[in-house]
Amino acid sequence: MNFNYSTPYPSTRLPVFARNVVSTSHPLAAQAGLRMMQKGGNAVDAAIAAAAAMMICEPVSNGLGSDAFAILWDGKELHGLNASGRAPQGWTPEYFKRKYGDGAKTPPKRGIDSVTVPGAVAGWVALSERFGKLPFADLLEPAIEIAERGYLIPVVVQQKWAAATPELQGVPGFAQSFLPWGRAPQVGELFQFKAAARALRAIAQSKGEAYYRGEIAQALATFAAECGGVLKASDLAAYQPEWVLPLAKNYRGHTLHEIPPNGQGIAAQMALGILDKFDLGSLPVDSVDSQHLQIEAMKLAFADVYRYVAEPSAMQVTPEQMLDDAYLSSRAKLIDMKKAQDFKAGNPVKGGTIYLTAADENGMMISFIQSNFMGFGSGCVEPTFGISLQNRGHGFNVDPAGNNTANLVAPGKRPIHTIIPAFLTKDGQPVMSFGVMGGNMQPQGHLQTLVRMLDYGQNPQTACDAPRWRYNAGFEINVEATMNPATVQGLSARGHRMEVINDSYQDFGAGQFIWRAGDPKVQGYVAASDARRDGQAAGF
């Protein structure tokens, strides 16, 4: 790919070129990953070390109670890992009806009844055992050091910490763990997390056993009971991540790979499958026509995803039916170039996330994502070990009469998930490991950045820096303040209800990208890190 390396958009970043590279949303995490590769480890070792460090450095997005997913190229083929958590055995529609009344549609957004079994730590162990080179305990050394010694709070993390405090300061364990000053931290203030260091040591020494079957599991079960929840040690002991075959969808001579449902990555593949029916590259990159087409394709994909995607065994249609070319062609025909539409689901049946990526000179590449979901997640933090718990259970439906009954809560079931790593190949060979964080912005970010690279030849950092839009619901679109006013006005004239937003972190996600330039030992990689967070791409 011959990229254009001009910088047409405001940016504080430049592409990074290296044979071994890690790209994350916090510099200390990128350095933790490089430290493992300099020690003789591979890209998987680097990703695990970076992921552990991210739980300490960016607690506003993830923690030791997160879920995770990964797609990796081992040098010969792709592998997918689903380390998302399952509902406790005590979770049923009747459980939530009894506690929250007949009007409840979902589990609560915060608190212990939003917490499914955390999967990220089990995901680290699974990746290390199958693909890592270094001893597992070595991989957690940087995170333990950071948690013990502390680190200085960066700008974006501080902003999100302060924004979350009013809502979460009364949730069990939150203030004790994250407000040691009696308030949110200031920029540059030292934060130490000794409880999390204690947990990381136990996880390192036991290869995760302490978390799921030992002292941490017991502490989590006790904490859940004290908070009125039903998460038990037996729920943790039963948990296992799942190796999966990534879904594939061709676009412009390349193939986009996403984790299959229960994740939403299929939304990006569907939208690109719809856009493949148009000559997008003939339209100017930031024009009204180009942006309108992308928005409408994304809306069509989301209409189906919100209707059908759930735990695979509960879905009424298959991913293959949703990605069928004939079906996507029929959806593409619904797009009107002159006006925005509020699309409904079709019938495919025939008849507060962190993302990081690492690649090494031997060709191994990993796309990794972990998240507490809504910022600090549930807000609940087990104080002995500093386990900040996700709120993925909020993604379930608890109403048997609701729209997506496939996503109805049940014991041991996984909810629909927003976090999605991505991977790009060409002719069966690796091209790019990448991801964009931020709820339902993630498939939208995959779509927009890939279109910029594959249709318009923009390099990964430029595609990352470009202004983004975000579809919410109906006709509602958020756009970054850096988008051309004429484009915003043109989209408004077609019926899109445009709201210009200044907070890019909150609404437009943040991405990390590693593009393979050729033989990793010779041409190496081109890496990008999104300026919407405090991150860094670093290599050697």
- Give the closest residue to 449 by CA, choosing from 306, 249, 302, 271: 271
Class of domain 245-254+261-348+439-520: mainly alpha
Q: How many CA atoms lie within 13 A of 268 on its CB side?
A: 36
Tokens at 436, concatenated: 């964009």
User: How far, in Å, CA of 457 to CA of 248, rounded?
Assistant: 22
Q: Which pLDDT value is given to residue 351?
A: 47
Q: Which pLDDT value is given to residue 164?
A: 96
Tokens at 132, concatenated: 């890592």
Domain boundaries, the chain: 245-254+261-348+439-520
Amino acid at 319: P
Let me know: does 476 contact 299? Beta carbons within 8 Å. Answer: no
What's the maximum distance between 2 C-alpha atoms anywhere in the chain?
63
Q: Which pLDDT value is given to residue 134?
A: 98
User: How far, in Å, CA of 37 to CA of 329, rounded?
Assistant: 45
User: How far, in Å, CA of 407 to CA of 400, rounded?
Assistant: 10
- Running along the chain, 540 residues long, what does each successive block of 10 average in pLDDT? 89 94 97 98 98 98 98 97 98 97 95 98 98 98 98 96 97 97 97 98 98 98 98 98 98 98 97 98 97 98 94 94 97 98 87 88 98 96 98 95 85 95 98 94 97 98 96 95 96 97 79 97 97 95
Q: Which pLDDT value is given to residue 297?
A: 98
pTM over 0.85: yes
